[in-house]
Structure 1
């Protein structure tokens, strides 16, 4: 498990990847989906992470100045775009919802799992139970 002071940073990076890589870029770009259902794989989807854990990490480790500086460097030197969840952390809850209670990851069936995609803010496709 990552150090507590880095969990929010990692969560926001993965949340960004979920909304950025939605499978609409062409055949060679996967649809990255954060989910609490690791066995739930839609056609062309690449499921990753436990969304509920990442939402808790985001909430427990707020954006700090070091993360803002890293976001600026990545934008200005490499990508030309920013991670909106660093600039506007409140967007996490608007798109993905609030953190859920912890789930038992040792079970074969996770409560709340399903495979439907829902429309989020601005038409972003998200896979969650919120």
Structure 2
């Protein structure tokens, strides 16, 4: 890591902590490209682009405040080949920034059923990929980190080519696609079946163990457990599936999304547990990054990732 990169990270932290109010002048692809393309250090440039993508830098005021304190290298070192991918990425980032800043304005003063109705309008307008297309996109991009895929329930890693082929889907020892909201509950209908906001790569054995059991907290000795996930009896004596701690909030936000997107209710007992998990396992950078990847293809977002506080403004899913 270069000293310039270390210095940039330090300045980025100080700038973001010091910025009191977001400027109304939002990022545009042209303006952001004009600034960031002058940074010849690829690692520095990518770091800034990533912070734009994550929403840490969401206005020209914030971007300029950061770059005023960074020594830019000779712009002649940036080639045309470097600039083209950057331009394409920044165009996508600018569109996403506009969505994050403006897309939820209609929800500002809404609560309960009114908020659910508005979120339904936002969530339901997406590009349906079909089940095959959704899995292909997941296994080739959305869930590929450092050349491998991690099963969300057990933490097992798999090579992308071992995940979800038609021949191996559901075969023990391979990945398959977990529908957090079970397919049997909506008769495998589209677009629910291919909506990536509730789809995750899972170890096929763990996926089979979960089956269509509701989520909950296992009490007593589990019937099965691996990697932090458990299958066993809940407090009411009925079988529940409890995912490992680092995926509990993701499960909650996926089900909240599905509920408002498709007007499907969540039973009261499960909802109470999901609300706790949403708080205990808050949104992190990995979840935001995955959300950005999904949005590129599906053209919609999960509002409970972008605005976790919406959960508290809805009294009943």
Q: TM-score range with shorter-chain normalisation? A: 0.5 to 0.7
| Counterpart for residue 107 of structure 1 | none
Greater relative CO, 1 or 2 (CA 8 Å, sep 6+) = 1
Larger radius of gyration: 2
| Counterpart for residue 285 of structure 2 | 65
Q: Which runs of 5+ in 1 are unaligned?
A: 23-31, 38-49, 97-125
Structure 1 Cα separation of the partners of residues 266 and 294 of structure 2: 22
| Counterpart for residue 144 of structure 2 | none
**What is the root-mean-square deviation in Å for CA atoms of aligned residues?**
1.2
Structure 1 Cα separation of the partners of residues 314 and 292 of structure 2: 22
The TM-score normalised by the length of structure 1 is 0.55
| Counterpart for residue 120 of structure 1 | none
| Counterpart for residue 3 of structure 1 | 244
| Counterpart for residue 90 of structure 1 | 309
Q: Which runs of 5+ in 2 are unaligned?
A: 1-241
Q: Can you list the C-alpha shifts for 1:19-52, whole angstroms capped at 9, x where unaligned? A: 1101xxxxxxxxx111226xxxxxxxxxxxx100
Q: Residues 1-130 of structure 1 correspond to what in structure 2 (within 5 A)?
A: 1-22=242-263, 32-36=264-268, 50-77=270-297, 79-96=298-315, 126-127=316-317
State the 1:95 CA deviation.
Answer: 1.3
Structure 1 Cα separation of the partners of residues 253 and 245 of structure 2: 14
Structure 2 Cα separation of the partners of residues 14 and 74 of structure 1: 16
Structure 1 Cα separation of the partners of residues 311 and 277 of structure 2: 11
State the 1:75 CA deviation.
Answer: 0.8
State the 1:65 CA deviation.
Answer: 0.3
| Counterpart for residue 26 of structure 1 | none
Q: Can you list the C-alpha shifts for 1:59-88, whole angstroms capped at 9, x where unaligned? A: 1000000000111111112x2100000000
